[in-house]
Chain A
Amino acid sequence: GESVGLHLPTLSVQEGDNSIINCAYSNSASDYFIWYKQESGKGPQFIIDIRSNMDKRQGQRVTVLLNKTVKHLSLQIAATQPGDSAVYFCAESTGFQKLVFGTGTRLLVSP
């Protein structure tokens, strides 16, 4: 079946550190993945996406890595800031704009 999960429910880092949030997916046929950030009381905010024909994609302070061999996705945040504190979700696209989300990882950034 389709499922997207995360290894760590909570990640605590110090301001300025680099953060790595991991995600495992089970549907090897999925060809599109998205990372979202969700702050309390708000809708998920798009961060970065990657297609299965890529291994790495970089944005502003964020990098997504895709390892299709082990069906693993990660989000790297450089120089983490207190404003990065939120719940992060990976999502897998299964076509027709249907996304399958994991349960999320809470990132806590201490000053």
Chain B
Amino acid sequence: DAGVTQSPTHLIKTRGQQVTLRCSPISGHKSVSWYQQVLGQGPQFIFQYYEKEERGRGNFPDRFSARQFPNYSSELNVNALLLGDSALYLCASPAPGRSTDTQYFGPGTRLTVL
């Protein structure tokens, strides 16, 4: 079974643009969480979705939004990009056979805002 998958791997945008990042959770799981990791820091929680509903939101502005599709894949959207949005965006889901508290991460999408 594939792990958490994310696309694209890398992305370069300019200030003011909008970006969409994609994620598919581990097969069989209905939950997806998004994290932002700025260089040199630990990941920060952005959103958690379960069965297409938002179950948690971190301290991020309304420029950040997400949604989950019937197949449990998810998109993270960021509008009006700022230089400070440059980061590694990580997606996570639980894994079969383990506690749902245990999050497994994908490889991330490296976003650079110029």
A contact residues vs B (CB 8 Å cutoff): 4, 32, 34, 36, 41-46, 49, 89, 91, 93, 96-104
Contact = CB atoms under 8 A, between A and B. Distances in A.
B33 interface: yes
A97 B31 CA distance: 9
Given A96-B48, A97-B94, A98-B48, A46 B43 contact: no
Nearest to B102: A49
Interface stretch (B14-22, B62-70, B78-86, B103-111): B103-111
B29 to A, nearest CB: 10
A93 B100 CA distance: 11
Nearest to B94: A97
Contacts of A32: 99, 101
A104 B42 CA distance: 6
Nearest to A102: B42
A101 B44 contact: yes
A45 B44 contact: no
A98 B56 contact: yes
Contact of A44 (B33, B43, B44, B58): B43
A97 B101 contact: yes
B45 A103 contact: no
A45 B92 CA distance: 11
A46 B104 contact: yes
